[in-house]
Structure 1
Amino acid sequence: MKDLMGKAIWDYYHNENPEDLQTETSISELDELPVHYLFRDFEEMNTIERKALELSKGKVLDVGAGAGSHSLYLQNEKELDVTALDISPKSIEVCKLRGIEKAVSENVLHFSEETFDTILLLMNGTGIFQSLLIIDIYLKKLHSLLNSGGQVLIDGTDILYMFDQDEDGGFYIPAEGYYGELDYIVHYKGESEDPIKWLYLDFNTLKNAAENNGFKIEMILQEDDSYLAKLTKK
């Protein structure tokens, strides 16, 4: 991994000629991702993010923390015990420089030091699951990291709207696999990451997977094609 996301976050924080990130998927064209978006404060976050942060309680694990904006709010404004977790080493370095007291560069599947009252997976948190073929592995891991009475707050997006419709309202979707399983590619300053698997999940598919892995699930909020869900242990 070239850690291009981390490089962009690092460049922006240190004001070292940052450029916007570019992202694309196997079903969408190149799109700009302004790096400053990853540094926004609570008032600049969307409704789903703000709701998740408002519901966060106790000891928190922020999975896919990025530049650490969610963790910073929870640590500084809500005075919660927060651990920022991300596979990007440079992102975690910036988290520490921004004042996050606990920040770890690690894949969540290999993180096993503690258990938590709240686990956050935001900004299409279902993406980390990669594929329906291995979603059980991730959900079992999250279950093991969660304290009794704890909660997983995760957002996702149903991308069915991105596919063409026929005259009867049906969608033209791939014959094989789940339509939300995409290849995701990041570009920065002329470099490109290798494609990674990224999973966009509709709520009912997440519900079925969660219930099969020892969770109860509740829809907290829906905004257009995106939603916030809360998972708790059965």
Structure 2
Amino acid sequence: MPPIAIATLVIIAANILISIKGFNDFSFFEKYKFNIASIRRGEHIRMFSSGFLHADFSHLLFNMLTLYFFAGVVIDALGTPKFVIIYVASLIVGSLLSFYFNKDKYHYSAIGASGAVTGILYAAILFVPNAKLYLFFAIPIPAWLFGVAYLLYSIYGMKNKVGNIGHDAHFGGAIAGYVLTLAFAPGLIAHSTWIVVLLAVPILLLFILHKLGKL
């Protein structure tokens, strides 16, 4: 297994400790989860704190394993400070997009680091687009195809309310990861033009569908 950077270890530890606190303290969980009504009352800390809470150990494990496997790619390419910026920005943009699409659903709640982790995943895909990822843990596909398919599925999930999943937060995280990675490493635009364009397709599609009132 690849060595783990201090920044990754700190983020994983924070997620574990805060999530376990939430598992065992219902009032703490309720106080810091993402909730539209509470945010509209001014409890903006929930936009950030919810990214460190998880529904259960399997939810926590999946997000932290994904972060573990892709954080190193981003750190090696950009360094620790920019990795942390992408992680935090992806978390916040994921929450902002989720708030935007659900602002009139006062009951809407969400938790999880998925937005932040998706931002790191999308950043890593820009650097290693041909790395093999395993769909359903069995079918190998190139990372760029996984990234495009994942966001297209997120659009489908947002439109059709599929599952108890914050598809909009995932999408917001991916947008932040994509934009910041290209801002930090603009050479990717010339070096991997077709990958940059392909990964932009679902993002553009989201805005077009929203503009047309289809989402």
TM-score of the superposition, structure 2-length normalised?
0.34
Higher strand share: 1
Structure showing greater Rg: 1
TM-score of the superposition, structure 1-length normalised?
0.32
